């Protein structure tokens, strides 16, 4: 089977565009790691990143993470075939359509994934929950295709990724993600054992990220987009002019108000 199309120059250009779009819509983009970054992705074999499926932004989050942390890897990702018809640009960016509501969809996913993972520089990004699921709901089972890959293709790294879009003090949400511990499965392991280990690792990564989000400590993350706040109303503009008139710096972040009120 031929590989899906993934044009590096177009992927990089699209990432530059969506980085600006994300910067306008989110307060920050924070990243955590369960292991040292250098150990996440050995270049000797292909990589599968599998994440919980929170919402519409997930593919864009994946693209920005790939550019920042796995720049030498080619991006591939399955997407619902109907969604791909609506966003045709993704067909040039490594995304390939899968008909999730048909039995042939699973077979097509496995065929495409095997071809992709035969190339050591490949990175396959998947959301095996199969549908949008609240980030704190861990009851959705993972689709079996992921475990089938883990049990049948040796020397592939599987990396769990937890994603949330929480609100903290600012009017816009942040993007918060966490990479879990890398897994490599031995050839001959049962699909059931692989499935249990994959799901356990993803859910633990989600719990760890949730605990960090609840703590609301900005220093718990490193940032692709640093925390900041923009003026959101005419009242902020008036506050800025007042601060300038009195010779004081103006910080539009609501967190500066809440911190001062608690001290």
Return the half-sphere exposure (C-beta side, CA atoms, 13 A cut-off) of residue 35: 13
Tell whether the model's pLDDT for residue 256 goes beyond 90: no
What's this model's pTM, rounded to 2 decimal places? 0.86
| CATH match for 8-225 among 3.40.1280, 3.40.50, 3.40.1130, 2.30.30 | 3.40.1130
Average pLDDT over residues 52-75: 95
pLDDT by residue (tens digit) across 201-229?
A: 999 999 999 999 999 999 999 999 998 75
Of 151, 233, 234, give the one whose Cα is nearest residue 185.
151
Tell whether the model's pLDDT for residue 126 goes beyond 90: yes
Q: How confident is the model at residue 235 (pLDDT cuts 50, 70, 90)?
A: low
Percent of the chain with pLDDT over 90: 69
- CATH code 3.40.1130 region(s) in the chain: 8-225
pLDDT for residue 1: 58
Average pLDDT over residues 94-113: 88
Percent of the chain with pLDDT over 70: 86
Tell whether the model's pLDDT for residue 254 goes beyond 90: no
pLDDT for residue 44: 83
Cα distance between residue 177 and residue 165, in whole Å: 9
Tell whether the model's pLDDT for residue 231 goes beyond 50: no
pLDDT by residue (tens digit) across 32-51?
A: 999 998 888 887 889 999 99
Average pLDDT over residues 230-247: 55
């Amino acid at each position: 089977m031929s590989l899906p199309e993934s044009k590096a120059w177009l992927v990089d250009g699209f990432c530059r565009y969506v980085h600006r779009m994300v910067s306008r819509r989110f307060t920050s983009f924070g990243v955590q790691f369960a292991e040292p970054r250098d150990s996440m992705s050995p270049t000797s074999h292909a990589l599968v990143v599998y994440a919980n499926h929170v919402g519409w932004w997930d593919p864009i989050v994946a693209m920005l993470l790939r550019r920042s942390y796995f720049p030498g890897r080619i991006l591939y990702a399955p997407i619902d075939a109907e969604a791909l018809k609506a966003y045709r640009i993704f067909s040039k960016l490594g995304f390939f359509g899968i008909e999730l509501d048909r039995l042939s969809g699973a077979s097509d996913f496995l065929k495409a994934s095997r071809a992709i993972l035969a190339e050591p520089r490949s990175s396959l990004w998947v959301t095996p929950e199969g549908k949008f699921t609240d980030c704190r709901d861990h009851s959705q089972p993972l689709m079996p295709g992921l475990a089938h890959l883990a049990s049948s293709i040796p020397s592939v790294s599987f990396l769990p990724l937890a994603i949330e879009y929480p609100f903290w003090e600012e009017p816009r949400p942040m993007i918060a993600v966490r990479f879990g511990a890398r897994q490599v499965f031995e050839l001959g392991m049962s699909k059931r054992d692989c499935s249990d280990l994959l799901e356990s690792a993803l859910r633990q990564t989600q719990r760890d990220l949730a605990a960090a989000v609840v703590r609301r400590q900005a220093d718990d993350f490193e940032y692709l987009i640093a925390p900041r706040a923009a003026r959101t109303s005419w009242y902020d503009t008036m506050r800025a002019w007042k601060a300038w008139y009195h010779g004081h710096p103006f910080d539009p972040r609501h967190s500066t108000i809440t911190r001062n009120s608690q001290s």
